[in-house]
């Protein structure tokens, strides 16, 4: 049995759909009732429980559960409710880690590239405490992930498999519910498809021209492929970056979306709101050498390939 927290969310629903398409059995999704969106799933051949039922479920199914994939979290980078972040991103993660360690179960969990802060200390999935101590996340969400990474890596006892995945900028199907945290790809597509002008943030950094801010964007299909690879390789452990290693600009995104929607380019640069300027990342690039050295050999969708697939195979069919 695979227990997936955040199963009704963006990455979780894509993982469940992929596992179901491969006829995987005994999948249990944990999520809040108001997040359960039936339209995200290819079928309903899996079980669901609410977070309030998790403790009892774990006790009753201790022998059946083999792996916990912990994706559930408050993912907003602008969330300022410390209590909410601690309860959802730290206390739940620690509880699941303790349960997996005690019962010798596998744990694959979502960390984040937000742990790297402004990137001044590089984007290396280095597990040493000396390196991790130098990272300064720019928001509560990033701090919550960073604290959990450091906490469990210091522990001598481990679950039977322990993998932390530092997701970079993920985009793709099933992200409509994410509101302001939707990918910039979906936000731009929604503007373009409604014949509205696309507005990108100006650069307030002399090293970058307007729209040339660079991020490592990864298509969710590649994320799922990596997750399933770790599920298939129970002896591999560690903290890993999940990105393409090839940062691309917001201008590149806009250009690709205009091309795939056959719309004329309508683009304007606006000032980045002062309240988020100090938290704004101008450059991210996943170092994926560790992932490659561990044996993951599949190629990634290019930005153009991912956007084309997302628009033509999903967004245009909605």
Q: Which residues are catalytic?
A: 141, 178
Q: At residue 5, what are phi and psi to the nearest 5 degrees?
A: -80, 145
Secondary structure of residue 314 in the 3-state scheme? coil
Secondary structure of residue 91 in the 3-state scheme? helix
Q: Which helix (H) or strand (E) holds 115?
A: none
CA distance 116 to 94: 21
Nearest alpha-carbon partner for 244 in 173, 167, 184, 311: 167
Cβ atoms of 16 and 4 closer than 8 Å: yes
CA dihedral sign of residues 284, 298, 11, 65: negative
Cβ–Cβ contacts within 10 Å for residue 288, how many?
23
Strands 214-215 and 67-70: unpaired
Cβ–Cβ contacts within 10 Å for residue 128, how many?
10
Integer-rounded Cα Rg, in Å, for the chain is 19
Cα 100 from chain centroid? Answer: 22
**Helix intervals (H) in the chain:** 10-21, 54-60, 82-85, 92-103, 129-132, 140-153, 184-193, 220-232, 250-261, 274-277, 289-294, 303-313
């Amino acid at each position: 049995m695979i227990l997936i927290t955040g199963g009704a969310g963006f990455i979780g629903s894509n993982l469940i759909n992929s596992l179901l398409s491969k006829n995987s059995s005994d999948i249990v999704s944990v999520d809040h009732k108001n997040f359960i969106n039936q339209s995200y799933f290819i079928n309903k051949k899996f079980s669901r429980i609410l977070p309030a039922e998790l403790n009892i479920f774990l006790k009753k199914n201790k022998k059946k559960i083999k792996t916990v994939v912990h994706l559930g979290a408050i993912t907003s980078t602008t969330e300022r409710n410390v209590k909410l972040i601690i309860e959802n991103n730290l206390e739940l993660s620690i509880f699941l880690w303790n349960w997996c360690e005690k019962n010798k179960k596998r744990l694959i969990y979502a960390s984040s590239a937000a742990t790297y802060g402004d990137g001044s200390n590089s984007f290396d999935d280095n597990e040493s405490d000396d390196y991790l101590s130098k990272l300064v996340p720019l928001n509560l969400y990033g701090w919550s992930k960073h604290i959990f990474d450091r906490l469990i890596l210091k522990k001598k006892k481990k679950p039977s498999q322990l993998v932390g995945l530092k997701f970079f900028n993920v985009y793709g199907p099933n992200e409509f519910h994410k509101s302001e945290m939707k990918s910039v790809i979906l936000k731009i597509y929604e503007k373009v498809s409604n014949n509205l002008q696309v507005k990108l943030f100006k650069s307030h950094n002399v090293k970058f021209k307007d729209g040339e801010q660079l991020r490592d964007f990864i298509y969710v299909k590649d994320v799922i492929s990596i997750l399933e690879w770790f599920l298939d390789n129970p002896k591999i452990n560690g903290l890993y970056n999940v990105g393409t290693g090839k940062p691309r600009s917001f201008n590149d995104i806009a250009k690709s979306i205009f091309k795939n929607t056959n719309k004329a380019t309508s683009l304007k640069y606006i000032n980045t709101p002062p309240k988020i300027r100090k938290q704004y990342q101008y450059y991210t690039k996943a170092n994926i050498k560790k992932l490659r050295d561990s044996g993951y050999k599949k190629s990634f969708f290019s930005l153009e390939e991912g956007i084309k697939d997302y628009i033509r195979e999903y967004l245009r069919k909605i």
